[in-house]
Structure 1
Amino acid sequence: MWDRPEALSTISSLLFGVFALGLLYIGILVTVHSPLFPVREVVITGSISRVTPTQIDNVVHRELRGTFFTINLDASRLAFEKLPWVRKVQVRRQWPDRLEVTLEEHAVLARWRQDGLVNTHGEIFTAASDDPLPVFSGPPELAGDMATNYAAFDRALAPLGRRVQDIRVSERRAWTVQLEDGMTLELGRERVVERLSKFADAYVTSVGLMKEPPRMVDLRYPNGFAVRLKTVNKGA
């Protein structure tokens, strides 16, 4: 082999290629870890009203580590997602020294029991809020259905000038809705939106004519409903 010039030329080319690749790898490694490429600016985008500048500043200075090339984008995203009111985060690099962080906040819809909140996607989260909100309670896996049905209930009751104050779903999946004036609607386990909508349509010519508003309305009947007054029971 050593007396074959073409073989020696091939081997020399291969060795040179390996050497060049090694130098390239070392150069890239040095560049990536070089302090000459710091993250000089963190830009926050998104519609933000609940997350405070102090909270953001704490994450930037305490949680973000590395140069422009070595900073862990997933770890950075998780650090921001730990903030109260933050629902979703996107983090990306912008050459040469910028990190862009896009925050999406929870849009609160209701309280969840006594210690949580529900957003408009039906997701349960924890944060502090003094907003006057309806209260949801029931199996956590039904929070999404409760958010969806709340919107439908609200639309059905809007022409009557009434709003939902409380939604409760039992372990047996029976729905109970309480309005802001204290009236309770028993909807049962099936066709709950349909039942409430029919009640709203019939309200003006039935319950709306009563001198005393009922304390409870049972909408589980197939062709009507029953009302319970504060003093006596009365079928309707």
Structure 2
Amino acid sequence: MFALIGRKRGRSLPRGVPGAADAETGRVLPRPLRRVVRFAVSLAVGRVHIPRHTGPIAALSFFAATGFYGMSLGGHSQNFAQTTTTAAGFAIDDVKVSGARETSEIDILEQLGLDGTTSLVALDVAEARERLAKLPWVEQVSVRKVYPGTIEIVLKERTAFAIWQHGDDLSLIEKNGSVIAPLRDNKFSNLPLFVGRDAETAAADFDRQFDAWPQIKARVKAYVRVAGRRWDLRLDNGIVVKLPETNIARAMQMLSTLDAEQGLLERDIASVDLRLEDRTTIQLTEGAAARRKVVLEQRTKELKKVTDRS
């Protein structure tokens, strides 16, 4: 065994080969370079067999790598991948959408940029989610690939709480006051209408205060924010109820009592002013005021006749 080891250690590289002199002087090449030197020596003396067509294949590989690198720098690698994978049968031919009540599938397809030749392999799921999240009604969205050519999209949409009128514009809002989208049709006409600056942010809290008076709440057509401090109620018959800044419960209780005992809200009046705690002011309509004036004048004449007779 010692003889074998001695022969292995004593083996030196042929003369004229790099590293041979080092072996003779007892110095050894670093381990990472030994195989490189041995391969170079074997290649030089013809010990290594190179298969045919290795040169053309290597050249083609080099040019292909160069081409891919160039496409990557030029931003065309995505187009190339899409074209090749589409041709291989991975074109998106089905989009399954669930949870979309207000979001149309046309908007979804346009947002994703699908044109019938889009490759499922080349589709960036994260980018698709980001694009769909920009749609007005979308609160949450998930996108999943189902090979060979299907996309599954699950939406969670926002909930419309009320309509907000600001100037001449009408918008749908959530409970927190966030604007969802402009109002386009009468589909949401049953929602309460809040009018004025800052009305959208205070709408939900103010609306909850009317749950104790459902009969009056059912008759409110618009909640109008006044100077960002208080509210007016516009009822279905045109009457305006002016509420105070604070202690709205007291004012609503007063209004409810007057309506129950005297049918106040069924009379020919223009407004009810509840802003002051010690009094309630009622304004008649123009027609009612004119009729009242006639009645008062007639009563005054009758009283004068009675006075003259006596």
TM-score range with shorter-chain normalisation?
0.5 to 0.7
**Which structure is higher in strand share?**
1
Structure 2 regions of 5+ residues with no counterpart?
Answer: 1-26, 35-67, 69-76, 293-310
Counterpart secondary structure, 2:253: helix
Under a length normalisation based on structure 2, what TM-score does the superposition of the two structures give?
0.52
Structure 1 counterpart of 2:230: 174
1:3-14 alignment to 2 at 5 Å?
A: 3=29, 5=31
Which amino acid in structure 1 is aligned with residue 152 of structure 2? E
**Is 2:160 the partner of 1:107?**
yes
**Is 2:90 the partner of 1:90?**
no
8 Å contact 2:199–2:228 — kept in the other structure? no
**Is 2:284 the partner of 1:226?**
no
**Is 2:253 the partner of 1:198?**
yes
Structure 2 counterpart of 1:216: 271
Q: CA separation in 1, counterparts of 2:92 and 2:193?
A: 44
Pick 1 or 2: higher relative contact order, CA cutoff 8 A, min separation 6.
1
Q: CA separation in 2, counterparts of 1:197 and 1:2?
A: 101
8 Å contact 2:146–2:152 — kept in the other structure? no
Please point out which of 189, 196, 206 is paired with 1:138.
196
Q: CA separation in 1, counterparts of 2:100 and 2:250?
A: 37
**Is 2:210 the partner of 1:158?**
no
8 Å contact 2:173–2:200 — kept in the other structure? no
Q: CA separation in 1, counterparts of 2:115 and 2:258?
A: 56
Counterpart secondary structure, 1:215: strand
Q: CA separation in 2, counterparts of 1:181 and 1:73?
A: 50
Counterpart secondary structure, 1:159: helix
8 Å contact 2:162–2:193 — kept in the other structure? no
Structure label with greater radius of gyration: 2
CA distance change for structure 1 residues 90 and 191 in 2, over 3 Å: closer, same or farther? farther
**Which structure is higher in helix share?**
2
Under a length normalisation based on structure 1, what TM-score does the superposition of the two structures give?
0.64
8 Å contact 2:165–2:171 — kept in the other structure? yes
CA distance change for structure 1 residues 197 and 69 in 2, over 3 Å: closer, same or farther? farther
CA deviation after TM superposition for structure 1 residue 166, in Å: 1.4
Q: CA separation in 1, counterparts of 2:242 and 2:218?
A: 16
Q: CA separation in 1, counterparts of 2:173 and 2:114?
A: 28
**Is 2:98 the partner of 1:45?**
yes
CA deviation after TM superposition for structure 1 residue 216, in Å: 1.1
Structure 2 counterpart of 1:12: none
Counterpart secondary structure, 2:276: coil
8 Å contact 1:63–1:76 — kept in the other structure? no
Q: CA separation in 2, counterparts of 1:43 and 1:147?
A: 35
Q: CA separation in 2, counterparts of 1:129 and 1:58?
A: 22
Q: CA separation in 2, counterparts of 1:87 and 1:191?
A: 38
Counterpart secondary structure, 1:145: helix
CA distance change for structure 1 residues 53 and 166 in 2, over 3 Å: closer, same or farther? same
8 Å contact 1:89–1:101 — kept in the other structure? no
CA distance change for structure 1 residues 2 and 170 in 2, over 3 Å: closer, same or farther? farther
Q: CA separation in 2, counterparts of 1:211 and 1:73?
A: 56
8 Å contact 2:239–2:265 — kept in the other structure? no
8 Å contact 2:163–2:194 — kept in the other structure? yes
Q: CA separation in 1, counterparts of 2:235 and 2:97?
A: 40
1:45-64 alignment to 2 at 5 Å?
A: 45-48=98-101, 50-62=102-114
Q: CA separation in 1, counterparts of 2:266 and 2:143?
A: 63
Counterpart secondary structure, 1:227: strand
CA deviation after TM superposition for structure 1 residue 55, in Å: 4.0
1:137-191 residue CA offsets vs partner (Å, 9 max, x unmatched): 211x4403124423543x3442357421112113342311111111111113334
